[in-house]
Amino acid sequence: MKELENTELIDKELIFLDYEVKNKEELIEKMVNYAEEKGYVKETFLDAVLKRECVFPTGLKGEKLTIAIPHTDSGHVIKPGIFFARVKNSVIFKEMGLGINDIEVKLIFMLFIKNPKEQINMLSNLMKIFKQEDRAKILLNSANKNEVYKTLVEIIE
């Protein structure tokens, strides 16, 4: 079986810029509904990812950047991918770890993990964003979807 290239996980159809939502729940629901339409996840994904976010929140705080990486068990995933959304107004996620701190997040990377063993690099590459200020700036500010796409590919490859 051919191993999936990390960059194949990025797709222009899975990039939302300046998405307007009221809160985290609405954001997750809209993203998941869209992903379900596009054939990435099963209908069980929404419930699973919302529940998991309550028990094991996925907000992450670096020195200069906060992100969230909502995800859930691979059994709810049909096709692997990374769904990137930038929201217009920050939404509140709980920080991973103790799950006590609220953090404001503008960049959300929803992970569709199908084969955990193959996708370890994907997440560790994604974490490099905390050290790549220039790329983080593009993800935070660019209105150009192609540029955002290119930047995501560079981060993840």
CB of 127 to another protein, least distance (A): 5
CB of 144 to another protein, least distance (A): 27
- Pair 36, 81: CB distance under 8 Å: no
- For residue 26, the one-letter residue type is E
**Sign of the torsion formed by the C-alpha atoms of 36, 42, 47 and 49:** negative
Binding site for another protein (CB under 8 A): 52, 55-56, 60-63, 69, 71-74, 96-99, 111, 113, 116-117, 119-120, 123-124, 127, 130-131
CB of 1 to another protein, least distance (A): 19
Comparison of 21 and 80: residue with beta carbon closer to another protein = 80
Comparison of 127 and 153: residue with beta carbon closer to another protein = 127
Q: How far apart are CA 79 and CA 87, in angstroms?
A: 24
Comparison of 38 and 114: residue with beta carbon closer to another protein = 114
b/e per residue, 15-45, with b = 16+ CB within 10 A? bbeebebeebeebbeebbebbbeeebbeeeb
Comparison of 12 and 137: residue with beta carbon closer to another protein = 137
